[in-house]
Structure 1
Amino acid sequence: MAIFEGAGVAIVTPMKENLEVNYDKLEELLEEQIAGGTDAIVICGTTGESATLTEEEHMRTIKFAIDKVNHRIPVVAGTGSNSTATATQMSKEAAEAGADGILLVTPYYNKATQNGLIKHYTTITDEAKVPAILYNVPSRTGCSLAASTVAYLAKNAEYVTAIKEASGDISHVADIMHACDGAIDLYSGNDDQIVPILSLGGKGVISVLSNVAPKETHDIVALFMEGKVKESCELQLKALPLVHALFSEVNPIPVKAALNLMGKEVGPLRLPLTEMEAAHQAVLAEEMRKFGIKLA
């Protein structure tokens, strides 16, 4: 059974002005997402600024989300690292805290071989013993999962159950699904490719868009799954200008700006990320209005 089906929000980590994690605000965001129809919470992923959280903050934030969601919807914990030992320890802690799944980005900077990736993922999942989602995003990591590697892990690593595909290469996604032959669940890692990935057998999306439009992102998947492909595609296409604005600068710069424009007060970003440029923010605000999102 899939960890979740539908739209999982890659939720931001709100910060206070002094750059401490704002847990009160995080609780508000979690409640709003659940009320908005989001199908799963993905905590401490790229959008959650995991790269600039300390390990202590990282684990506290994961445990906080698990406790506050309290089994209402699945919680997937981002526990990937370019250190296999670090990823293993965080994954074990997340599993012990009650995470429904873990999200494991390919080890960035190291540029592991495919054999190294197999060993990396097998080591983590054998220790953590919780359903794991591989995360392929070569534009950020300098490392890509080959279709044959995904298939090997899906068929031989007991807890590897899914992949978040953010390569942007639909042909590569098709190769993965062919090689896995039904042995893996697929999630889109790109909000502009939800419907194409659903058409290849996807279960849903791990979404940045869901931060500002949870119902609509959920509906894109739900309509497709109900056989209303035309309606799903129409909603996907309607969202494209907003999605483009949300990625006009590196994620999560624009989505945090968008939430602040909505009055959510999610605070600033930690360096080296900086605030969104004024020209880009003006376009973002306009696309949010066009999409029907109320600004503060």
Structure 2
Amino acid sequence: AAPNTAFYYYHIPVLTGGNFQMIDLLKQIDGVIPNFKGIKYIHEDFVDFLSCMNYADRKYDMLWGRDENMLSALVLGNKGAVGSTYNYAAPLYLALMEAYDKGELEKANALQQQSIDMITLLGKYGGISVGKAYMKLIGLDCGAFRLPVKNMSVEQFELFTEDAVKVGFQGFCALS
């Protein structure tokens, strides 16, 4: 249907329920799908992820998708990431990657902890809808979600904003 368009497999078992080793997928499709370029890997299996990175002399683009443990993926040698929190906290992750590249592991660790603290608020305030709340904090109101996603009430948004300040969000957000 689109032979000239790069094709990536989106591995996110928590949503799909399809949890199998991606290295097995790579072995099965290697050379079979000409436009297959790699995997957006949103899972915690670092053994499988590293095997995929190293498969066929690093032939495939492995994109790490767990923002809250980007540092661990960098240690494995990963160079690419795709995640939702980069939309509003890109400076944090750029600083984390720079600190890692310079060998400043304590600083990289502290920055990763800031990411974890920020992401913890996603769970506390309702998951996916919190991404739009963060966007609103940086001045980009993306509007409300449609059903079935539950949106924050005004009161919840006020509490969320207070918590975002406590984790230092304004110091590392995209428009600070």
Q: Which of 36, 45, 58 is residue 182 of structure 1 equivalent to?
A: 58
Overall identity of the aligned pairs, in %: 20
Query: Structure 2 length as normaliser, TM-score?
Result: 0.78
Cα deviations by residue, 1:83-123 (Å, 9 ceiling, x for unpaired): xxxxx4xxx3xxxxxxxxxxxxxxxxxxxxxxxxxxxxxxx
Gaps of 5+ in 1: 1-87, 93-126
**Residue 168 (structure 2) pairs with residue 291 (structure 1):** yes
Conserved? CA contact 2:52–2:62, under 8 Å: no
Cα deviations by residue, 1:166-196 (Å, 9 ceiling, x for unpaired): 1223233234335454222222111111111
Match of 2:12 in 1: 137
Equivalent AA in structure 2 for residue 250 of structure 1? G
In 1: Cα distance, 2:14 partner to 2:41 partner: 12
Match of 1:149 in 2: 25
In 1: Cα distance, 2:156 partner to 2:64 partner: 25
Change in 2 beyond 3 A, CA 1:209/1:175: same
Match of 2:44 in 1: 168
In 1: Cα distance, 2:155 partner to 2:147 partner: 21
> Secondary structure, in 3 states, of the residue corresponding to 1:212?
helix
Shift in Å at residue 156 of structure 1?
A: 4.4
Match of 1:19 in 2: none
Q: Which of 269, 272, 276 is residue 148 of structure 2 equivalent to?
A: 272
Q: Which of 113, 117, 141 is residue 241 of structure 1 equivalent to?
A: 117
In 2: Cα distance, 1:278 partner to 1:172 partner: 42
Equivalent AA in structure 2 for residue 255 of structure 1? G
Equivalent AA in structure 2 for residue 138 of structure 1? P
- Structure number with the bigger relative contact order (C-alpha 8 A, sep ≥ 6) is 1
Shift in Å at residue 210 of structure 1?
A: 1.6
Change in 2 beyond 3 A, CA 1:177/1:246: same
